[in-house]
Copies of this chain bind each other. A is one copy, B any other.
Amino acid sequence: MKLKKNNRAVWANSGKVYIINQIKLPFKEEIFISETYKDTCKAIKTMIVRGAGSVGAAAGFALMQAVSEAPENGYKDFLLKAKKKIEETRPTARDLFAAVERVYQKALISAADAVKEAQNIADETSEAGRKIGKYGNELIKDGFGILTHCNAGSLALVEYGSALAPIIKAYQSGKNILVYVDETRPRNQGAKLTAWELQQAGVPHIIIADNAAGLLMQQGKIDIVITGADRIAANGDTANKIGTFEKAVLAKEFNIPFYIAAPDSTFDKNCFSGKDIIIEERSEDEILFVNGIDEKGKEQTIRIANPGSSAYNPAFDITPAKYITGFITSAGIKKELS
């Protein structure tokens, strides 16, 4: 299915879940249509949908689908099994767990309540992004060079996004800005998704190797760094895509403001500090191989590293709070969390 005009990355209609297929982007714009909760689980697990907010919304919709699939006899058992299956798609995704729990509680009341709750979750996520954009925009001045890492746009947060929301809002407010987009190895979410989203929004941007950010800061080209987050501990320590911490250290070295933009659900009050966050290690193949398109537009996965060597692939890193200037939240800018 070709991409239809919809500002959202994931939405539901008549029991079906529609997801912009992020695996295919930016080379093909396709919508993945899921008719069953298991299909939606597959979409979550295989990264067709990614980004905390969008994954949360998709997970809520998945349990909503399970509600309509559940037999009258063993309704609760079926739901518990479905809940577990959804949770297993991404064992470390807080938004997913929260969304599934919310829909599950409503499903114990009625199917209609579950449907409404799943929709509420998506709407709330969208609204949070809108507010993040509004508040974050105030940090961006005319003429700013902005560095961002990984992807924290509408694809990741249903609509508007977190890190990209202030940037797009600033552009739409008439500010002259240039966004430096870290390609974000090993999965290249910057070069692929952030660049695509900025292009969709018409925002001037340029892709750089992750290695170039230090030089650009040294040259005075970066005025602010804004990234998203996967999880923010109570003390402000922030887990985000591998490489975020490097940019934070560099920003501190050059006294460049470093902001984390995130919706409420990313703030984990039960997590005391970054030391309590386990770093997910992903397959070495993400480093040893890369996928893209050949000159005929055909998808290819090729080996780009020495065949006799292995790779180590931690997916996230922890940026201690002391490197973070502030947090752009849906309730405004917070300089400190505690």
Which positions in A face B, CB cutoff 8 Å? 26-27, 180-181, 183-186, 188, 191-193, 195-196, 198-199, 205-215, 218, 241-243, 245-246, 249-250, 253, 279, 284, 287-295, 300-314, 317-318
User: Could you pull out 18 A-B pairs where Cβ atoms are within 8 angstroms?
Assistant: A26-B308, A185-B209, A195-B306, A196-B308, A206-B312, A207-B305, A207-B309, A207-B312, A208-B287, A208-B313, A211-B242, A211-B243, A212-B242, A214-B246, A218-B245, A290-B292, A292-B305, A293-B303
Least CB distance from A109 to B in Å reads 44
The verdict on A304 contacting B191 (CB below 8 Å), with A185-B210, A209-B313, A309-B181 known, is yes
Interface centre among A212, A250, A303, A307, by most B CB within 10 Å? A212
Is the pair A312, B26 in contact by a Cβ cutoff of 8 Å? no
Least CB distance from A313 to B in Å reads 7
Main secondary structure of the interface of A (DSSP, over half): mixed
Least CB distance from A229 to B in Å reads 15
Least CB distance from A119 to B in Å reads 31
The verdict on A304 contacting B192 (CB below 8 Å), with A205-B309, A207-B287, A310-B207 known, is yes
Q: Which residues in B have their C-beta under 8 angstroms from that of A218?
A: 245, 317-318
Instruction: State which of B186, B188, B300, B312 has its C-beta within 8 Å of the C-beta of A305.
Output: B188
Is the pair B211, A308 in contact by a Cβ cutoff of 8 Å? no
Least CB distance from A129 to B in Å reads 21
The verdict on A307 contacting B26 (CB below 8 Å), with A183-B185, A287-B208, A302-B294 known, is yes
A293: nearest residue on chain B (CB-CB)? Answer: B303
- Identify 18 new A-B residue pairs, CB closer than 8 A, beyond the known A209-B242, A291-B304: A26-B307, A27-B307, A181-B309, A185-B185, A191-B287, A191-B311, A192-B306, A195-B305, A196-B306, A207-B309, A208-B312, A210-B211, A212-B313, A218-B317, A246-B250, A249-B250, A291-B302, A302-B302
Q: Which residues in B have their C-beta under 8 angstroms from that of A210?
A: 185, 209-211, 243
Least CB distance from A24 to B in Å reads 12
Interface centre among A198, A208, A246, by most B CB within 10 Å? A246
In Å, the complex CA distance between A279 and B209 comes to 15
Instruction: State which of B205, B209, B214, B243 has its C-beta within 8 Å of the C-beta of A287.
Output: B209
